Each structure stands twice: as structure tokens, then as C-alpha cells.
Chains A and B, each alone.
Chain A
Amino acid sequence: MNTLFDKIWDAHVVQAVNDGPTQLYIDRLYCHEVTSPQAFAALRERGLSCFRPERIYCMPDHNTPTHDQDKPIADPVSRAQVDTLAKNAKDFGLTHFGMMDKRNGIIHVVGPEQGLTLPGMTIVCGDSHTSTHGAMGAVAFGIGTSEVEMVLASQCILQTRPKTMRITIDGTLGRGVTAKDLALYMMSRMTTSGATGYFVEYAGEAVRSLSMEGRLTLCNLSIEMGARGGMVAPDETTFAYIKGRNYAPKGKDWDDAVAYWRTLRSDDDAVFDKEVRFDAADIEPMITYGTNPGMGIGISSSIPTEEGMQEAEKVSFEKSLLYMGFQAGESLLGKPVDYVFLGACTNGRIEDFRAFASIVKGKKKAANIIAWLVPGSWMVDAQIREEGLDKILEEAGFEIRQPGCSACLAMNDDKIPAGKYAVSTSNRNFEGRQGPGSRTLLASPLTAAAAAITGVITDPRTLM
């Protein structure tokens, strides 16, 4: 009567600390350049080596420019951080996919596509979107830098066991409704803190029907409801995705692995601390209007009003609308857009580029739009070209940039200017997230493409 989460967690408990947390063994630690340097420095100060270097994979992604990656990074501070990761990986004997390495890209895109992220694993990274890897049937969650140091030093982490929640989505997603819309819909219902303290398992027909890319998008956004992580039980879709990938098990190891992975599902009588159910038929393409990812609406509906809100909630709501330049109760359709961003660990995979291309094919980019199309990895970039999507995009007036986190958090040069509106496929619309003063509207690749073609907020179904 165990949940999927229980099975994986219990298999990794080294010990229960007296009146304290659990000491949990970690199969995979991913390190990027922003949240790891202080952990490596602390390790040096303590005179410690890395305990299990073969379980740790490093790659820069946050600071990397999306052009001219063959040249040194122009910003000396960004360059120093990227160089520091390379040096740390070398000094501590860790695998490093540097810039221009064909395996490089956003850490949460690379892990699954290289076959490094596998079902049944415990996976951590100093990055809240580590929840992405749960789509493969792993227990994956974001951690702080002190916790990165713990794993470097002992391959373990001290964690309090989260509660479990199952979110079941019945039915079939409608035309033009993607995994991103499903996630934005759940967030709008559950709020940005509705799953805090919980580890979520996604289930139901609508989730089962998602491709691996869709599941990765869905689990990626778990943290935006506050969840410790999100996961989907592995199935044939998962196995087909993993088979033959670079680091995936081969031969007899593969057969043994699949046999084990098939046991990774919640038992029929498993009890979750909380159960939530949604109907896929209720979901339309979504877009956010405010400054947290829970502030989303169906694209044909209107921004809510203050009716029924608590006083404390009103203060944050008004601050949010003031920042965005929107009015309570108004519709977003037809509002002008300045920038479109396709990419990030949320929507930087091949399926996202296919979706974007399907809308813009044979049309032209609107003159008022600056569009940044950033593949999640070099592997995605190669597949875009292999499928000829690059031609379709270029003919429509779009340019494909080089991989990295890019405008999702604007640590490189890809910053949305103050006051400008961006329809973005990334994960956060916080104040200043895409550059100081930037105004972000989160949406799916289809909705982003529709805005890129029309220059205004548009229901993508009208262009399909």
C-alpha cells in the first residue's frame, strides 16, 4: 500500500536521525555554475574531497550567452563563474559538459536526454526546477547551496519527509491545450503555495497521454505550486524515451532495469495525504496576468476582480496589477506584446519547437515583436535542424539562438527591457524576473507563437 514516492524514498534511507530529518542517499547530483561555487569553496575550507565523484555531473547553463559561445563570455563576472565550475569539476574529478560541448545545455533538459536521469533515482540540484526529472519516475527536488555541499561531501542529504499528494487529471486535453496549459491551470486553482510541503504524483488519463516532453514540462512546474517535487510513474512512454540514450543501461542491464522500473508505481490501495482531481475538459490555453505563476487565466476569460479576496491578498493583488499595467476584470486578448521567448527548462525541448513551428509555418513574424528562440540543449538544436524546423522558422522571420537558460532569468544579455511585455514559455513571471522592470506573461509555445505572428495576445486556436 505504498505510493510511488514512498517506494523510492524508502529505498534510499541511510538512517533516520533521532528527533530529526532523514539521511537520504542521492543517486545523482547535478551542478550548474550559479549555486555550486560556494559549496566547492566550503569543501576546500574543510579539507574534504568529493565522496562519490562518479555520481556528479556539472554544466554551465545560467550565464551562457545565446550567441558566439565559441568566444569567451564578454561579461567578466559571468565568465569567472563559468570558469570556476570548470575548475571545480577538474579539481574534484567530476564530469563536466562545458560550453560548446555537444552534450551541453540546460541541466534539466540534458539530464533526461543523456539518459543520466532514470526511474527510481533520487536526484538533486541547486535549482528549484530539479522537479523536472520527476517526469522520468524519479524523486527529484531542488536544494540550496549548503545542501549541495552536503551531497558533495557525503552523497547524502538531510531532509524531512514530505507529505504525499496525488493530482489526477481525468479526460483528454482539448485542441491547442498543452502540458504547459495543464500546469498553469493547476497553479491557478491551487495557488503558488497550494502544494508546499508535499511531493506530488501526477496521474490520470490526461497525464498518461502526455509525451515524455510534456511530462517534463508538467513536473518542471511543480515547484510553482510550492511542491517539493512532482513525478509521473514510469511506463512504456518513459522506457521508449530512455532506450538507447548515451548513459542509459544497455544489454542485460537494460532488461534488468526495465523489470525493476515496472514495479515503480503506486499500489492500488496506496494512501496519499491529499488527493486532488481535475477534468482536462475544463482547461483552455492559459496565460498569466500577474506576478506569480498562480495568477493565470484561460486565454478567453478576464483578469479576476477583488471580490471575495482577503485584505492581505488585495494588497499583493493590487501591487501585482500595478506592476503589470493591467486592470482587474479586463481581458488580455488583443493587448500588444513586445517580446516573445521560446525556451527554458520548461519549454525548450523538441516538441516545443515543433509546436511553435506548426503555428508560424507559412506566416511572418509581426514587425513589433522581438523573438528569442532558444533550444534547451545542443541536442535539441541538432534535432531542430534534422527535422527542418530551422527552415520553417527562418522563413517566418525567426532566428534560432544557442542553448542556455537565457531570458528565463536574464543572467546573460537576454534581458527584457523595463516596462516591456514578454509572452514567455518560461516558468516565472515574478517582478523583474526577465530583467529589471520586465513584464512577463507565461504561456505555452503555441500561445507564444500566436503572439509572435499577430503582435498581440492571441488565442492560438484561431491560427490552428
Chain B
Amino acid sequence: MKQKFNIITSTCVPLPLENVDTDQIIPARFLKATDKKGFGDNLFRDWRYNADGTLNKDFVLNDPTYGGQILVAGKNFGCGSSREHAAWAIAGYGFRVVVSSFFADIHKNNELNNFVLPVVVGEDFLKELFDSIFADPKTLVEVNLPEQTITNRATGRVAHFDINGYKKHCLMNGLDDVDFLVGNRDKVEAFEAKRK
């Protein structure tokens, strides 16, 4: 899971729906595992498959026209349940970046903690990106973490995205928060002592 992140240039999978909740990303009946494996197979399960288990050919993940490591979704992506299984499903399927104009708080953290980069762009940028992808599914997008930029290669439009310096350092170096916190247990003990 700890994949170092630098620059990713890829085609995109467009999902122009708003308020995509984590129950859609991974339905509750697939949350019974006690490890992190195999969730990618059930990413968007009930949109990807019909009730009888056959493929829903109308869903974008089943459309061979589109592919790549970047998922582009409508605003308020990942709302609802805190289930990190949603981030495991996105990462497990092979996405490294999710682009949206707005993310739900808990899911955004879950993506970052699994080395999937949530990139927040403006509504205009997002709309233009959807237009570019639908006009040409081969449209490449460059996500540059060191520079904190995203580029729509079809139009040349570049946008800056925010990420705090600490998390950026973690992503670029394959470090996680537990490493940091365990290294700071002495500060926790000092805090507890002072509190008493």
C-alpha cells in the first residue's frame, strides 16, 4: 500500500455524478473481510454489475473506451460512511488519483492514508476536464505532486491544488502517520503527565 507518489500522467475514467457515497464505492455486504485484499474487485459493485451478476455494460468501468489511473468524479465524492474499505477498493482497482471539485472529509483522509491522492479542482476545471475526456478518451492528465499542479493536456489548462507539507512529504517518501506518531510517544507521555 505504501507506494511513493511523485508525478503521474495517465488517461482518466470519468464518473460525472455528484454525491457519490461510500456505500456505492463499496457496498456494506463486502465489508466482512479482516484483511485489505480484493476490495478492488467490488469497486462500485452495484453499478458495475446487474442484479443477476452480469456486467452492466452501461457503467463506465465496463466501457473499454475509458481507462487509466485517474478517476474523475462529480462534487462531494466519498460522502457517507467512514469505511476505509472504499479507499482500499479504489487503490485496489488501480487508481492512484481521484479528481473532484469537492471531497467528503473522512474519505479524503482515507485516500491519503492509502497513498491515493485526492485532487481538488475548481468547478470550471472539472467541467472542462469532463468535456475533454468525453471528446477524446485518450486525453492525458498530469498530476505533479512536487509542484502541486494538475494539467489537462488536451487544453493545456493547469491548476494548483492544496496539500499540507507534512502529508506531501509522507506521500513522496512512502511514510505514514503511524510511523510519525509512534516516534512521538514521548510527547504523548509528557502531555498526559502535564494534564494530571
Interface residues of A (CB under 8 A from B): 14-15, 17-21, 23, 25, 34-35, 37-38, 41-42, 46, 48, 51, 62-63, 77-78, 80-81, 84, 126-128, 130, 142-147, 149-150, 153-156, 158, 160, 162, 192-193, 196-197, 223-224, 226, 228, 292, 312-313, 315-316, 319, 409-411, 418, 428, 430-433, 436-437
Contact = CB atoms under 8 A, between A and B. Distances in A.
Contact of B74 (A15, A144, A312, A418): A312
B106 A143 contact: yes
17 contacts: A20-B164, A20-B165, A23-B187, A42-B178, A128-B106, A144-B109, A144-B110, A147-B109, A147-B113, A154-B181, A154-B188, A162-B105, A409-B28, A411-B31, A428-B80, A432-B46, A433-B23
A51 B185 contact: yes
Given A14-B191, A20-B165, A312-B16, A144 B178 contact: no
B181 A192 contact: no
Contacts, number: 187
Contacts of A42: 178
Given A316-B74, A428-B23, A430-B24, A18 B166 contact: yes
B166 A17 contact: yes
A158 B74 contact: no
Contacts of A77: 32-33
A401 B83 CA distance: 26
Given A23-B184, A37-B33, A142-B106, 13 more contacts: A18-B165, A20-B166, A23-B187, A62-B31, A80-B34, A146-B113, A146-B114, A154-B178, A154-B188, A196-B79, A196-B104, A312-B18, A431-B23
Interface string B163-183: 011110000000011101110
B196 interface: no
B17 A319 contact: yes
B114 to A, nearest CB: 7
A436 B178 contact: no
B102 interface: yes
Contacts of A38: 34-36, 84
Contacts of B180: 17, 158
Task: Kindly name the residue among B85, B106, B114 whose own CB sees the greatest number of chain A CB atoms within 10 A.
Answer: B106
B51 interface: yes
Given A226-B105, A418-B51, A143 B82 contact: yes
B19 A128 contact: no
Contact of B87 (A15, A48, A144, A418): A144
B142 interface: no
Contacts of B106: 128, 142-144
Contact of B17 (A14, A193, A315, A409): A315
